[in-house]
Structure 1
Amino acid sequence: MAMNTPNFECRMYEAKYPEVDMAVMIQVKNIADMGAYVSLLEYNSIEGMILFSELSRRRIRSVSSLIKVGRIEPVMVLRVDKEKGYIDLSKRRVSDDEINTCEERYNKSKLVHSIMRHVAETMQLDLEDLYIHVGWPLYRKYGHAFEAFKLIVTDPDSVLNSFTREIKEVGPDGQEVTKVVPAMSKEVKESLIKNIRRRMTAQPLKIRADIEMKCFQFDGVLHIKEAMRKAEVAGNNDCPVKIKLVAPPLYVLTTQTLDKEQGIYVLNNAIKACTESIESQKGKLTVKEAPRSVSEREDKLLLENMPNPIDEVNGDEYSEEEEDTGMGEIDLENTATGITD
């Protein structure tokens, strides 16, 4: 006997169609003679259309500069024909505020949807059934399931135990009775909590600053090394500071923290300590990029794009081989001819 395969495709929200004058997130699928056919990402990729006249308030000189296949962006809903399934959309009528609101809502909904779908696939459940009994009730009660998921991270029972479902059973007398049971089984509940905690627990932010540091005095390398140590001492247990040589005279200061503002504050103090130390030895420090939050990918790309990148070296790993490069822009006219002391 063949078993029915659970359906893992479902819209994000309880409503099957968006409301008129609502901003929705779409992905462009095809460009035709009259306009562009798109998928509404929050509504299980149902089809909509943007007429060319709704692309821009200005005269269109190049359609390809305004809309491209594969692009994901917010647009405004103009008309919804639920009987025929037609949805007309506009790119030119959506405001900046509506774009920001739509993007924020979509990013939250996408994370919720990813968690819900993973639980459905893992537990072999129908995704829409999981939404009916858990996801959409959370949207109704908390405004957005994302807000409920944040509470579930620390106190799951207070959020999930209040949801129930009705099932039909045949009683001892042969009569069908309605029974109220928890909205999901213990196993599904544990899987949902586990995935929510894994995906929504705050991850440390990486804060980075780029500086140039030079010192032309005798033993300039030692002065630079001392300044690097002063920078690292400015860190604390919550925001430890590391400073590394990338390519002379470029250095990078980094810290990891859950509090972005604190991380930026600590790096600014580290730069200040480093500046005071190197300037006391008649050196110079220039901030090339102020402290800011970067992703691991951005950090990697920044390092790759540095001029003449070398292996990173921190203040405690400075070897004698790097001493000449640590001095900054030194006149190498004599050494170029092979003259040495």
Structure 2
Amino acid sequence: MAKKSDEKFIIKRSGYPSKGEIVIGTVTRVLDFGAFVSLDEYENREGLVHISEVAPGWIKDIRDHVKKGQKVVCKVLDTNPKRGHIDLSIKDVNERQRREKVQQWKSEQRAFKWLEIAGEKAGVSKKELFEVGKKLLKEYDTIYGVFEDVFYEGHKAILDIAGEKLAKAIEEIAKENIKPHKVEIRGIFQLKSNAPDGIERIKSALLEINNLSLDGVNIKIDYVGAPKYRIIVESEDYKTAEKALKKAVDKVLKKIKKLGGEGTFEKEV
């Protein structure tokens, strides 16, 4: 439900999480047999992490691993809506999943704040904003996802749900805060030169990349270990990145051949 004016504006999902879903929550109670976790993303939902699901191996004292008020990332093992049960596991979440979920939740909290500001700009009441937010959350899964979509597609993407004033305010804030996604492609050059100044010739071939005119593209060369050199191309879309990579590869291989050396290139998958 909507929060009071002195608290953070947060919109939570209705219903229950899905089996296998990664969720974030706050430990509310720690008992000898397990810990109860209030799910931060769901309305009035609390799950149980049995002591056997807290950490790998035998646990002598559960309080050595979890404490009341602690934020935890869990995997949903099972749900029973009829009985109101949600079984969770902390140990089944790997480090990458934990980092990604924490980052996702931080982004979502920022998006709640952006939505609140958009509501103020558009003159929308907190109650109305909450209702619109619930509809957007159902459509996009995350409020941050709403701002991302509006950044790329414009306010018309949410016009039917948010109305013109709020949709335009969301677009304005999205343009101010969302950074375009970057795609990255990589590959390996193998460059050789038997000349006395072979290293300098290889460097000269790689420096050909600096002569390319590539707007919105960032290219970096990393030394892997003779004779291998990694090229990393970063852009906002794959088509542009692929085009830039081809130009760079052609330039480098043509130059090293001209300098009496040889070279090959293989794209990393």
Q: Common fold, TM-score beyond 0.5?
A: yes
Instruction: Give the AA of the match of 1:10.
Output: I
Instruction: Give the AA of the match of 2:114.
Output: H
- Is the counterpart of residue 270 in structure 1 residue 269 in structure 2? no
Describe the SS at the equivalent of 1:159: helix
1:26-45 alignment, distance < 5 Å: 26-27=24-25, 29=27, 32-43=31-42
Report the identity percentage. 17
Larger Rg: 1
Task: Decide whether aligned partners of structure 1 residues 116 and 221 sit closer, same or farther in structure 2, where only a CA change above 3 A counts.
Answer: same
Aligned equivalents of 1:275 and 1:32: distance in 2? Answer: 66
Give the conservation status (yes or no) of the 8 Å contact 1:23–1:75: yes
- Is the counterpart of residue 129 in structure 1 residue 127 in structure 2? yes
Aligned equivalents of 2:223 and 2:22: distance in 1? Answer: 46
Cα drift, residue 113 of structure 1? 4.5
Corresponding residue for 1:120?
A: 116
- Is the counterpart of residue 223 in structure 1 residue 196 in structure 2? no
Task: Decide whether aligned partners of structure 1 residues 193 and 109 sit closer, same or farther in structure 2, where only a CA change above 3 A counts.
Answer: farther
Corresponding residue for 1:89?
A: 87
Q: Which runs of 5+ in 2 are unaligned?
A: none
Task: Decide whether aligned partners of structure 1 residues 54 and 79 sit closer, same or farther in structure 2, where only a CA change above 3 A counts.
Answer: farther
1:153-168 alignment, distance < 5 Å: 153=151, 154-157=153-156, 159-160=158-159, 163=162
Describe the SS at the equivalent of 2:41: helix
Aligned equivalents of 1:158 and 1:221: distance in 2? Answer: 54
Task: Decide whether aligned partners of structure 1 residues 8 and 190 sit closer, same or farther in structure 2, where only a CA change above 3 A counts.
Answer: farther
RMSD: 5.3
C-alpha distance after superposition, 1:308-331 (max 9, x if no partner): xxxxxxxxxxxxxxxxxxxxxxxx
Bigger Cα displacement from structure 2, 272-281 vs 189-198: 272-281
C-alpha distance after superposition, 1:83-120 (max 9, x if no partner): xxx7531339x9xxxxx9xx999987864552222342
Aligned equivalents of 1:21 and 1:218: distance in 2? Answer: 64
Aligned equivalents of 1:130 and 1:106: distance in 2? Answer: 28
Aligned equivalents of 2:180 and 2:35: distance in 1? Answer: 39
Aligned length: 254
Cα drift, residue 34 of structure 1? 0.8
Cα drift, residue 156 of structure 1? 1.3
Describe the SS at the equivalent of 1:76: strand
Corresponding residue for 1:195?
A: 173
TM-score for both structures, normalised by structure 1: 0.51
Aligned equivalents of 2:126 and 2:268: distance in 1? Answer: 45
Give the conservation status (yes or no) of the 8 Å contact 2:35–2:51: yes
Q: Which runs of 5+ in 1 are unaligned?
A: 95-99, 165-181, 293-341
Instruction: Give the AA of the match of 1:72.
Output: V
